[in-house]
Amino acid sequence: MNTPDRKRNSTYLLPPPPRHVPARGAAKLNPRQRVLAQWRGMDLSARETARAVRSEPMSAIMPKVLADLRIDRRQSEAEVLKVWNHLLDPNITAHAQPTGLWKGTLFVAVDSNVWLSEIVRYRRKEILDRLQHSFGRDLIAKISFRVG
C-alpha cells in the first residue's frame, strides 16, 4: 500500500540515469576494417579528415577574438574619460563631463545652459584640439555638447 509513496520519494533521491552521448563524426576504424577498406578500394581520407581534431593554439585565436570585440577601441574610449579631467581647465571639467564616444563623436554633458553657451562659443575648438592632439583625429573627430 505504501509503494506509490516510496516510489515517488525514491525518484527524488536517485540521480538521473547516465545519458549516452554519441561520438562526433564517423566511428574510428580498427586495423582490420582499415585493411578491408583498402582491399576493397575505398577512399578513407574524407572520413579521417572529418574525425581529425582541428585545434589551434591560443596565440592564434586571441588576436581574432580581441579584434572582433574591438578591445583596443574600447580601451581608448575609457582613456578619454580618464584624461578629460587632467587635460582641460578645472572650470570646464567642473561643469562638463564626457558621457560617451560613438563613431568619432565625443558626447559631453554640461550642467547648465550658461556653461553650454560658454563652451560652445569660446572653448569648443580648444577642447577639440587638445583631445585630438592626445588621441588622434580618427578617434575624436567632433564633440557634441548637451545639457544634462
- For the chain, give every domain's residue range: 71-147
**What pLDDT was estimated at residue 12?**
59
Whether the CB-CB separation of 95 and 110 falls below 8 Å is answered with yes
pLDDT digits (tens, 9 = 90+) for 44-84: 777 776 666 677 888 888 888 888 888 877 787 788 888 88
Asked whether the predicted pLDDT for residue 1 surpasses 60, the reply is no
pLDDT digits (tens, 9 = 90+) for 98-133: 988 888 899 999 999 999 999 989 999 999 999 989
Question: Class for domain 71-147, per CATH?
Answer: alpha beta
- 80: closest CA among 17, 21, 143? 143
Whether the CB-CB separation of 142 and 134 falls below 8 Å is answered with no
